[in-house]
Amino acid sequence: NAGVTQTPKFRILKIGQSMTLQCAQDMNHNYMYWYRQDPGMGLKLIYYSVGAGITDKGEVPNGYNVSRSTTEDFPLRLELAAPSQTSVYFCASSYSEETQYFGPGTRLLVL
Amino acid sequence: GNSVTQMEGPVTLSEEAFLTINCTYTATGYPSLFWYVQYPGEGLQLLLKATKADDKGSNKGFEATYRKETTSFHLEKGSVQVSDSAVYFCALSETQAGGSYIPTFGRGTSLIVHP
């Protein structure tokens, strides 16, 4: 199993550009999550999904969108990048309330 | 709502010292409790977990006991190594209204172990 994979690993965006962060898991987990991690601030939940076709907002959803058309994939879309979105983004998956499995992260720099 | 409070870091220790990282939580019901570890440049990975009161989770020499009476889940290790240097996150997961499980993470505690 590859576990949770994320692409790209690193990206620089200009203000106002858009991009999609990709996330995939091969463990048939029903739950998937997107977090951002700012230095010294821990993890903040952006969006989550409890299954294909179902998504919901987390703590900091503004400026982001998600979709879940399949069990495996959970892309995160940034429509108009802003410097405040400079962060490290982690995707995770789990089977209900059990252990979360994290991807390696995407470092995003918005200039 | 739910919350997790961890001691602030960094925690700096010499090799073979005893480690305690405090974690307390607030939850409405009976959550599962977790410790995750994040090594530099990597994502988080599960270190140990406990799913009910008085359970002890253990892994790689680390231990934590689910104390419902004190709402705590402190992480301990008897003798730390340089390779234990990382950021440690305490977390809980509990059923929300509507039946979904949304985890709550602490802010993380950085551990630095010197030779």
Contacting A with CB below 8 Å, chain B residues are 32, 34, 36, 42-46, 49, 89, 93-95, 100-103, 105-108
Contact A93, A25 (CB under 8 A): yes
Indicate the burial class of B55 (C-beta count within 10 angstroms; 0-12, 13-18, 19 or more).
Answer: middle
Most B CBs within 10 Å, among A102, A106, A107, to test the B interface: A102
- H runs (alpha helix) in A1-111: none
Residue in A closest to B47 by C-alpha: A99
State whether A43 and B89 contact (CB < 8 Å): yes
pLDDT in tens, A15-63: 999 999 999 999 999 999 999 999 877 899 999 999 999 999 998 999 9
- The confidence score (pLDDT) of residue A2 equals 82
Structure-token pair, residue A40: 């010294």
Which range, A85-89, B3-7, B25-29, has the best average confidence (pLDDT)? A85-89
Q: Measure in Å the smallest separation between the Cα of A71 and chain B Cα atoms.
A: 16
